């Protein structure tokens, strides 16, 4: 059923029906005694019916003149092709170029951020620009640097902007993917960007490999918009819960399986444009956060004492696909999050393995990754999780063979998606690390977890969410 037809059905309901009630205030919630039926595709959550978690128009690519010095620093880092400080073939000219650029960062004035807080779009752009500058600054340092110090002119505005956005002061998935795109060609009549009409605005290396790595995720986000529509329709039918609703939900779940299968194809298509060794050695080191390596020096944020409202950051993992609200939404909607999100690392015989001391064991990796999402998207996931008629409970309680089959097909498609993720991690992290003489099993993901063991654990836990068929 299309979303337009679904809206017609809602409009035909009696005015007192709970599905026909007006949307509650985003801040206050529903009136006492009424059901919160806020649509999942609501602007309250910064989710668009055409582009999902991606913004409906290309993000702004320049801050106003008051913050032009930040933009110029990022331009010069990118256009000057600054090199990784850890590269063994770094020339003296390369080192001198990076030294001069980092000196400019240290010497720039501390710009105020109050006026940025008037616009969410400006805040997003400021976070992106400042976080990219910080990663350029840190990753061009010589590997022998004992103390990684973020200078005050960068620390203060980055932490202030991050505090307002409720984001860690580090590159996130939204900086690399959600807000880092533009159109190759104008599409004035298109309801959403075409998957092949996207380009990246900012890159560390300027390579097609890096661009394709980010765009693979952007294409998944856009294709996943249909999944969000199916979730919305399913949840509304679940409130009705009659025999017709069960049949419709079964159809929606089969459609969802098709969408998830397309997401799997898009995930695997990254291999067509991004070389694994180029990714591992030339791209990945740039966006790794402080949490990615237990042996790396801590990042020290200088000047933080100048603003008593600021605190030393505790989350500095860097961007990860685990920060995609779309993938979390699929988990929560299907009710497999209690399996997949509990996955951390597994030892022998599937038993939990002890987490290294540097890992944040107080929450699973996927739960921690929510902290790196835009706050409106976190609110969306919370709203989805608070659904009073969860799908999995509905399937288990209905004892309907066709509904259970449809549900298991969707869970199976999600498991296959995670099979593909295992293959990508093996290809892009484990393989190159072994070829470099490192332990493939110990290769760390963005958040500091053992990458291959983690994704295998999530995949296996997702498979365990299949519901046994009801007895005839």
**Does the annotation list 421 as a binding residue?**
yes
Ramachandran class of 437: left when φ > 0, alpha when ψ lies in -120 to 50, beta otherwise: left
- Angle at CA 378, nearest 5°, toward 373 and 384? 140
Q: Which of 180, 218, 125, 167 is nearest to 375 (CA)?
A: 167
DSSP 62-93: ---GGGHHHHHHHHHHHHTTPPPTT-TT--HH
Tokens, residue 465: 């969410």
DSSP 209-220: HHHHHHHHHHHH
d(CA 111, CA 157): 7
Pairing of strands 181-183, 198-200: antiparallel
Contact residues for 371 (Cβ-Cβ < 8 A; gap 6+):
167, 168, 315, 378
CB burial readout 4-31, b (16+ within 10 A) else e: eebeeeeeeeeeeeeeebeebeeeeebe
Contact residues for 178 (Cβ-Cβ < 8 A; gap 6+):
53, 54, 55, 59, 218, 221, 374
Q: How far is CA 347 from CA 363, 430, 455, in A?
A: 18, 18, 13
Contact residues for 42 (Cβ-Cβ < 8 A; gap 6+):
23, 26
Pairing of strands 299-301, 198-200: unpaired
Q: Strand, helix or coil at 449?
A: coil
Q: What is the largest CA-CA distance in the chain?
A: 76
Ramachandran class of 349: left when φ > 0, alpha when ψ lies in -120 to 50, beta otherwise: left
Q: Which of 403, 401, 393 is nearest to 245 (CA)?
A: 403
d(CA 288, CA 20): 47
Residues annotated in the binding site for heme b, as ranges? 421
| Annotation: binding site | 421
């Amino acid at each position: 059923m299309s979303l337009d037809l679904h809206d017609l059905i809602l409009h035909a309901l009696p005015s007192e029906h709970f599905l026909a009630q007006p949307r509650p205030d985003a801040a206050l919630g529903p009136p006492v005694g009424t059901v919160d039926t806020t649509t999942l595709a609501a602007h309250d959550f910064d989710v668009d019916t055409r582009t999902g978690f991606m913004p409906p128009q290309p993000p702004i690519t320049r801050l106003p003149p008051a913050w032009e010095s930040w933009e110029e620093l990022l331009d010069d880092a990118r256009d000057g092709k600054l090199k990784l400080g850890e590269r063994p073939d770094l020339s003296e000219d390369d080192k001198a170029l990076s030294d001069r650029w980092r000196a400019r960062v240290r010497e720039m004035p501390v710009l105020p951020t109050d006026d940025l807080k008037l616009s969410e779009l400006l805040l997003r752009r400021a976070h992106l620009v400042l976080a990219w500058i910080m990663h350029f600054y840190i990753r061009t340092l010589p590997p022998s640097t004992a103390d990684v110090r973020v200078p005050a002119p960068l620390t203060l505005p980055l932490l202030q902007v991050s505090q307002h956005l409720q984001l860690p002061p580090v590159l996130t998935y939204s900086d690399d993917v959600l807000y880092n795109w533009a159109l190759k060609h104008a599409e004035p009549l298109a309801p959403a960007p075409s998957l092949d009409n996207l380009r990246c605005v900012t890159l560390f290396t300027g390579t097609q490999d890096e661009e394709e790595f980010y765009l693979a995720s952007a294409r998944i986000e856009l294709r996943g918009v249909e999944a969000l529509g199916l979730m919305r329709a399913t949840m509304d039918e679940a409130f009705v819960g009659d025999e017709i609703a069960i049949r419709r939900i079964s159809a929606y779940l089969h459609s969802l399986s098709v969408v998830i299968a397309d997401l799997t194809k898009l995930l695997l298509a990254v291999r067509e444009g991004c070389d694994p060794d180029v990714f591992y050695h030339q791209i990945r080191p740039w966006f790794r956060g402080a949490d990615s390596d237990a042996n790396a020096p801590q990042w020290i944020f200088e000047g933080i004492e100048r603003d008593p409202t600021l605190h030393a950051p505790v989350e500095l993992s860097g961007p990860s696909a685990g920060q995609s609200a779309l993938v979390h939404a699929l988990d929560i909607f299907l009710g497999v999050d209690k399996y997949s999100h509990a996955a951390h690392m597994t030892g022998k015989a599937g038993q939990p393995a002890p987490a290294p001391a540097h890992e944040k064991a107080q929450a699973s990796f996927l739960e921690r990754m929510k902290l790196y999402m835009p706050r409106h998207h976190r609110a969306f996931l919370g709203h989805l999780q608070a659904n009073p008629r969860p799908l999995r409970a509905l399937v288990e309680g209905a004892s309907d063979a066709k509904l259970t089959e449809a549900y298991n097909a969707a869970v199976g498609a999600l498991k296959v998606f995670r099979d593909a993720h295992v293959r990508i991690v093996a290809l892009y992290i484990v393989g190159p690390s072994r070829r470099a003489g490192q332990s493939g099993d110990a290769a760390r993901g963005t958040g500091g977890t053992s990458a291959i063991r983690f994704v295998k654990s999530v995949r296996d836990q997702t498979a365990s969410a299949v519901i046994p068929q009801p007895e005839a």
